[in-house]
Amino acid sequence: MKLKGHRINGGRVEGEAIVCADAFSFLGDFDPTTGNCLIKTPGLEGKSMIDKVLVCPTGKGSSRGPLNTYRAMKLNKSPRAIVCIEAEPVLAAAAMVANMPMVDRLDQNPLEVIKTGDWVKVDGDNGIVEVIRPGNQ
């Protein structure tokens, strides 16, 4: 399944999806030294975000979030890309400083279409997200 959206940051990557149903911040919801999710939601807390495609509704600020993302990137502990319903400036800045492709405003709600564990190809250059369910490759 291919979704068309809006380019926030270019680049092409693919990886396993990790879906967060709430607004996400790289300060407080993410440990840049381990790459683990800190959100206290069953199934997410402590889960590695390394090389994953983060899918979330939007960001929730803290201007220090991009610094944490950059730190994680330098330690090879960051996600590969971000797909969201609507980017906010701090989450977009985090993607940019860590050179992660980011796409928002898709033609379908990514939280309804993408599930944790799906394989996701993100083409940030063209604003395209391809979702591949395990076993349907």
Q: For this structure, is 25 an active site residue?
A: no
**According to the model, what pLDDT value does residue 41 have?**
86
Residue 15 near residue 121 (C-beta atoms within 8 A): no
pTM given for the model:
0.95
**According to the model, what pLDDT value does residue 62 have?**
81
- Which is catalytic among the residues 48, 62, 63, 78? 62
Residue 126 near residue 87 (C-beta atoms within 8 A): no
**According to the model, what pLDDT value does residue 42 have?**
84
All domains of the chain in start order, with CATH: 2-132 (3.50.30.10)
* Residue-by-residue pLDDT tens, the chain, 137 positions: 999 999 999 999 999 999 999 999 999 999 999 999 999 888 899 999 999 999 999 999 788 999 999 999 999 999 999 999 999 999 999 999 999 999 999 999 999 999 999 999 999 999 999 999 876 65
**According to the model, what pLDDT value does residue 137 have?**
55
